[in-house]
Amino acid sequence: MATQRILDFLATRRPNGPCLVVDLDVVRDNFRAFEKALPDSRIYYAVKANPAPEILRLLAAMGSSFDTASVAEVEMAMDAGAPANRISFGNTIKKERDIARAYQLGIRLFAVDCVEEVEKIARVAPGSRVFCRVLTDGEGAEWPLSRKFGCVPAMAVDVLRHAKGLGLDAYGVSFHVGSQQTDLSAWDRALSDAKTVFATLAEEGIVLKMVNMGGGFPTRYLKDVPAAQAYGQAIFSALRKHFGNALPETIIEPGRGMVGNAGVIKSEVVLISKKADNDNVRWVFLDIGKFGGLAETMDEAIRYPLVTRHDGSETAPCVLAGPTCDSADVMYEKTPYPLPLSLTIGDEVLIEGTGAYTTTYSAVAFNGFEPLRSYVI
């Protein structure tokens, strides 16, 4: 996944310290693959995955819409050239003054998952479109979602009815099947729930128009994942099965699937050591860790591919850890990572598939280390 452009950049520029390099050509290809796989869906790029201005400008120019988590992200999307009608305020947890500010900026599409949030929107963003997030089970996802977002389908009916009653446009339903979802049937189960909400409200004369199918589209780490095309077919079949010929508008919100495989982090081996002479497992310490951008290694959830100049030679299991004085700053310990025996201090290690959820996750100054630098080429 380290493209020739990324390798050339690193060879020529030789940046000091850990950094992320993102290849815009890959982002462009990913956007086109989503367009082709789901031609009837609008693509709302999840800005939180990587808000680099170059990425947002490219996607805005290609016609993408944007899913935002905060007023700051709304402003970033607008600065990149996206008009307000292509921006969704997709966080279900918003301060009323932030909703008001987004409304002032022209935003008219908001996520909710309870009547309390509907009431805030009715007060400061009158007439706006709202969609209610429904809980899904997240089964099959590598980074499963907790119950944090969404409500049960029966409650979604109440929430949208309440929105309608307060003069809002009860616009649709959203769900999220869980990040890095590789079980194609997850969309089928979620669309079945969505259809239930549509049907129940239709009986009362409230006609929903949109299903926001969220993200969850995986990027390739160590295991092969189904291609966008396979997702597109599975989703289209499920839509047909549950909605027949009355297909709703649909939205997808790829984040990781749009930029994950476009980025590579360059890091350096700081130390290789053992804890006792008879230990089987070596400890390999990199100059980046859980607090420097690799937060998604939490609970060893995401297992990134590592590339070294010794690949192909004999390997042995290693614990992989970051450079801070924090004992929680260990990436892979329960399942050690096989790395070449010939790996040495000072070697470069490329961490692939790191275009999403790295730069903005990194700590502002933990242990005095600066946040992850990024180059978008």
Q: Would you please indicate which residues are annotated as catalytic (active-site) residues?
A: 325
- Does position 316 interact with a second copy (CB under 8 A)? The reply is no
Cβ of residue 346: shortest distance to a second copy, in angstroms?
8
CB 58 within 8 A of CB 377: no
CB 163 within 8 A of CB 170: yes
In terms of residues, how long is the chain? 377
- 3-class secondary-structure state, position 267: strand
Contacts (CB under 8 A) with a second copy, residues 106-125: 113-114, 116-117, 120
Cβ of residue 261: shortest distance to a second copy, in angstroms?
20
Where b means 16+ CB within 10 Å and e means fewer, 215-248 reads bbbbbebeeebeebeebbebbbebbeebbeeeeb
Taking contact as CB under 8 A, which single stretch among the options 78-86, 165-173, 257-265, 365-373 is the one that binds a second copy? Answer: 365-373
Contacts (CB under 8 A) with a second copy, residues 89-108: 90-96
Interface residue with a second copy, options 128, 219, 297, 362 (CB under 8 A): 362
DSSP string, 146-169: -SSS-B-HHHHHHHHHHHHHTT-E
Q: Which is nearer to a second copy, 207 or 271 (CB)?
A: 271
DSSP string, 280-340: SSEEEEES--TTTT-GGGGGG-----EE-TTTTS-EEEEEEE-SSS-TT-EEEEEEEEEEE
Interface residue with a second copy, options 11, 12, 39, 148 (CB under 8 A): 148
Taking contact as CB under 8 A, which single stretch among the options 84-92, 200-208, 223-231, 259-267 is the one that binds a second copy? Answer: 84-92
- Does position 341 interact with a second copy (CB under 8 A)? The reply is no
Give CA–CA dist 69/92, Å, rounded: 9
CB 136 within 8 A of CB 176: yes
**Packed helices 71-79 and 96-104: angle between N→C axes, nearest 10 degrees:** 20
Cβ of residue 158: shortest distance to a second copy, in angstroms?
8
Q: Which is nearer to a second copy, 23 or 117 (CB)?
A: 117
Contacts (CB under 8 A) with a second copy, residues 1-60: 46-48, 51
Q: Which is nearer to a second copy, 305 or 371 (CB)?
A: 371
Cβ of residue 2: shortest distance to a second copy, in angstroms?
23
Interface residue with a second copy, options 149, 171, 221, 337 (CB under 8 A): 149
- Does position 144 interact with a second copy (CB under 8 A)? The reply is yes
- Does position 366 interact with a second copy (CB under 8 A)? The reply is yes
Pair type for strands 65-68 and 41-46: parallel
Q: Which is nearer to a second copy, 5 or 189 (CB)?
A: 189
